[in-house]
Amino acid sequence: MRAKISYAVTAAVLVVYFVLVGSRGVLLIGTGTPLAVALGVAVLILPVIGVWFLWKNTEFVRNANRLAAELDAEGGLPADELKRLPSGRVDRDSADEVFARRKAETEAAPDDWRSWFRLAVAYHDARDTPRARKAMQRAITLHKTSH
């Protein structure tokens, strides 16, 4: 729940920022001078890219949460079997061990969205966010094609 609130607050702040930047772009275009118009158009591009990025990220999170809920209902969410350091952080060797099992599971069933979801969690636990995101995107794509 805390993550959802944090995400919502961050998204709201970004939307306010996009509105403020966009209004400055409109003001620059309104001056009518060629340089100001060019700068205004450039400034308007930033909020457009930002809104697109925010939309795509929100869509990704919603889809991942939908898969997590479905996997939870099936009883297939991966159990937290990771060892922790005294600081509370995940033990790297433990994460690598779980990752190796999840990778083998995914290689055995490359068209199963559930194995890709669990692999994404293992990548995340191993602190490899780019690969975690790619694996989750693969799980989302496979889930869409299977339904």
What are the tens digits of pLDDT across the range 14-62? 999 999 999 999 999 999 999 999 999 999 998 899 889 999 999 999 9
- Please, are residues 28 and 46 in contact by the beta-carbon 8 Å criterion? no
**CATH number of 92-146: 3.40.50.2300, 3.40.640.10, 1.25.40.10, 3.40.50.300?**
1.25.40.10
User: CA dihedral defined by 130, 134, 140, 146, rounded to 10 degrees?
Assistant: -160
Q: How far apart are CA 111 and CA 94, in angstroms?
A: 26
Give the position of tokens 């079997």.
Answer: 81
Q: Cα(2)–Cα(8) distance, rounded to whole angstroms?
A: 10
**pLDDT grade for 4, boundaries at 50, 70 and 90:** confident
By the 8 A CB rule, do 46 and 14 touch? no
Q: Per mean pLDDT, which of 1-5, 33-37, 46-50, 88-92 is the most reliable?
A: 33-37
Q: What is the pLDDT of residue 88?
A: 79
Where do the structural domains in the chain lie, given as residue ranges? Answer: 2-74, 92-146
> In this predicted structure, what is the pLDDT of residue 3?
79
